[in-house]
Amino acid sequence: MNLNMPKIVKVKKKNLKKSIKTEAKAKELPKVSIKISKNYVPKENEKYMCEKHKAYFRIKLTEWRKELIQINNEALYNGSMDDNSISSDIVDQASSYIDKNVEMKAINRQIKLISKIDKALMRIKDGTYGYCTETAEPIGLKRLMARPIADLCIAAQERHEKDEKVYADD
């Protein structure tokens, strides 16, 4: 008799089917969409990250995302139309190059911001939005109102910035 072999446990099919059905039903349940007024502002006296808060931040982040995409598209379209690099004057060519370089850096920053917005929207979806990714403590409504993509509480953000400064000084 081998003592290292795992024990085989028989599970009743009836109970197994029941738990699978229950899990499937839980996944299928539609989320109730909350309607909030356009001038709704989350309040401290409401339960933290209640459905109203999530709906508010989802709308705010989605509108911000759409706005950034529209600005990027316009900048790319206008940038492609305004082409001074063909100019014979070398100063005009240099100026045009610098302008395009600055514009592309701004677009790249906005693309990174859109990525952070997408991550925040995913956190809303999975229920972790509003809580610090390092400490799991609430970030706070005031901080989220000021920076809706925040994923660190103030204390964790300060530690992160302090560590960044220490490494930058080395």
pLDDT category at 7 given cuts 50, 70, 90 is very low
Residues 97-141: tens digit of each pLDDT: 888 888 889 999 999 999 999 999 999 999 999 999 999 999 999
pLDDT in tens, 19-65: 434 444 444 434 556 788 888 889 999 999 999 999 999 999 999 99
Going by C-alpha positions, the residue among 73, 56, 45 that lies closest to residue 144 is 56
Q: Find out whether 115 and 72 touch, Cβ atoms under 8 Å.
A: no
The CATH number for 43-155, chosen from 2.60.120.20, 1.10.3860.10, 1.20.120.910, 3.40.50.150, is 1.20.120.910
Residue with tokens 């660190």: 152
| pLDDT at residue 21 in the model | 41
Query: DSSP state, 33?
Result: P
pTM above 0.75, yes or no: no
142: buried, middle or exposed (CB in 10 Å: 19+, 13-18, 0-12)? exposed
Please report, for the chain, the start and end positions of each structural domain, with discontinuous segments joined by +. Answer: 43-155
